[in-house]
A and B are shown apart, each in its own frame.
Chain A
Amino acid sequence: MGSRRYDSRTTIFSPEGRLYQVEYALEAISHAGTSIGVLSNEGIVLAAEKKVTSKLLEKDSSEKMYVLNDQCVTAVAGLNSDAGILVNTARVYAQQYLARYNEPVPIEVLVHRLCDIKQGYTQYGGLRPFGVSFIYAGYDDRYGFQLYTSNPSGNYSGWKATSVGANNSAAQTLLKQDYKEDISLKEAKELVLKVLSKTMDSTTLTKGKIELATVSKKNGKIVTKIWKPSEIDALLKETGIVKEENEENEEIN
């Protein structure tokens, strides 16, 4: 591989015109737990795979879903610690925008801002890029409900349904197969769970292994919600995708 001489430097092109550090960051993300987002006219669903490393770990904690402001949530794939920095930046920016213009930041403006920061780390020396991809779900008056992804290179794009992280191409294929233009929010939740159940390493879909977030409209107001494990459990039962919670049985034994 001709990458040896160039891959330790973030900011310079290899002779083939590649930025190895950025590619490595993308590679790191492709091993991270899958995150999926599906857009519907009634709202957006985000779901993510939690890679539980130990049954001793407190699994009620949310690690991949973040509320950015009253009308936007994001799901993370990649290094969670890197994500924390960008999430904080996004939250500060969203509130600064609100203070300045007295109206919530348009989703694309927020995504654009974060991508400018990510891009900076592909160009300025001495630092590594952010090892995170995001899926953003949000609402604004201009475009209604919107779904975006961004990656370490600082590119972003809008989607009807998308995924990032491990097995994302398999997830994308499944989404392409099953997505309908007039999908309801309920169907979107089912689709997200179905795709996740097929792309996850473990065959069992349990509340301890997934995270869920939604952005929807209730009585004309936008509601962002990160689901509690008990609520996810109820949804799994309702949709019939529920499997035995093996770990809990083990613990009892």
Chain B
Amino acid sequence: MDIILGIKLNDSVLIATSKAVTRGISVLKASDDKTRNLGDHSAMAFTGESGDTVQFAEYVQANLKLFSVRQNYELSPKAMASFVRKELATSIRSRKPFQVNVLIGGCDINKETPETSLYWIDYLGTNVELPYAAHGYAAFYALSLLDRHYKPDLNEEEGIKLLQLCNKELSTRMPIDFKGLRVKVINSQGVKEYDDLTAL
């Protein structure tokens, strides 16, 4: 019942992830980070089978890092998302596929004007670019709010307000405490990280 949310704003992308690690009836940890940075201007949030998630995220992270070091060139978020999609599409056709769903938010700084984008990718290898996205149960509660309040020209502050709205609804409706949301803000300057949404 992890929560991962992404919202694309006018010149940035927000990625919010729940901080709880749960196993069976227990909450094991309340400060988990379900994101990895894929480069200086992109981050990936992930949910799914525990173990698979971190393994896959760090595999992708290491491969993209290797590429950028070898070529002295960082891939665009679109290229990264395509790469991740391809990895998952290959994986699902293997004996033991990764059961991981991800969101990738990034800013393409090689474009004439930096372009932000958000990609929703599931374990089957579906890749879609979206203005706002969520995986899992959180999607049921958050998407209706986002459908109602989202505008493409929201700024960072308004985006945070919208996330807080989502957080309130999720806290009310989700059956267990997900221990708050960790937030990453990605723009042309890089990736900023906030330990908790309520501190913003």
Q: Do A and B come from one complex?
A: yes
Would you call A100 and B71 a contact (CB within 8 A)?
no
Contact residues in A for B56 (Cβ distance below 8 Å):
none
Would you call B82 and A102 a contact (CB within 8 A)?
yes
A104 to chain B, nearest CB (A): 10
Flag whether A106 is at the interface (Cβ < 8 A).
yes
Given contacts A103-B76, A103-B79, A141-B76, 19 further A-B contacts (CB under 8 A): A100-B83, A101-B75, A101-B80, A101-B82, A101-B83, A102-B78, A102-B79, A102-B81, A102-B82, A103-B78, A103-B82, A106-B71, A106-B73, A108-B73, A109-B71, A112-B71, A141-B110, A142-B73, A142-B110
Flag whether B86 is at the interface (Cβ < 8 A).
yes
Within 8 A of B (CB), among A104-119: 106, 108-109, 112
A68 to B81, CA, bound (A): 25
Flag whether B111 is at the interface (Cβ < 8 A).
yes
A102 to B82, CA, bound (A): 6
The majority secondary structure among interface residues of chain B is: helix
A106 to B71, CA, bound (A): 10
Chain B contact patch, size range? 10 to 19
Q: Which chain A residue shows the least CB distance to B87?
A: A100
The chain B residues found within 8 Å of chain A, CB to CB, are 71, 73, 75-76, 78-83, 86, 110-111
A141 to B114, CA, bound (A): 12
Within 8 A of B (CB), among A131-159: 141-142
A149 to chain B, nearest CB (A): 19
How many residues of chain A get a CB closer than 8 Å to chain B's CBs?
A: 11
A112 to B71, CA, bound (A): 8
A93 to chain B, nearest CB (A): 13
Contact residues in A for B82 (Cβ distance below 8 Å):
100-103
Would you call B73 and A100 a contact (CB within 8 A)?
no
Q: Which chain B residue shows the least CB distance to A97?
A: B79
Contact residues in A for B71 (Cβ distance below 8 Å):
106, 108-109, 112
23 contacts between A and B (CB under 8 A): A99-B86, A100-B82, A100-B83, A100-B86, A101-B75, A101-B79, A101-B82, A101-B83, A102-B78, A102-B81, A102-B82, A103-B76, A103-B78, A103-B82, A106-B71, A106-B73, A109-B71, A109-B73, A112-B71, A141-B110, A141-B111, A142-B73, A142-B110
Contact residues in A for B76 (Cβ distance below 8 Å):
103, 141
Q: Which chain B residue shows the least CB distance to A100?
A: B86
A106 to chain B, nearest CB (A): 6
Q: Which chain A residue shows the least CB distance to B111?
A: A141
Q: Which chain A residue shows the least CB distance to B86?
A: A100
Contact residues in B for A99 (Cβ distance below 8 Å):
86
Contact residues in B for A101 (Cβ distance below 8 Å):
75, 79-80, 82-83
Contact residues in A for B75 (Cβ distance below 8 Å):
101
Contact residues in B for A102 (Cβ distance below 8 Å):
78-79, 81-82
Q: Which chain B residue shows the least CB distance to A109?
A: B71
Q: Which chain B residue shows the least CB distance to A106?
A: B73
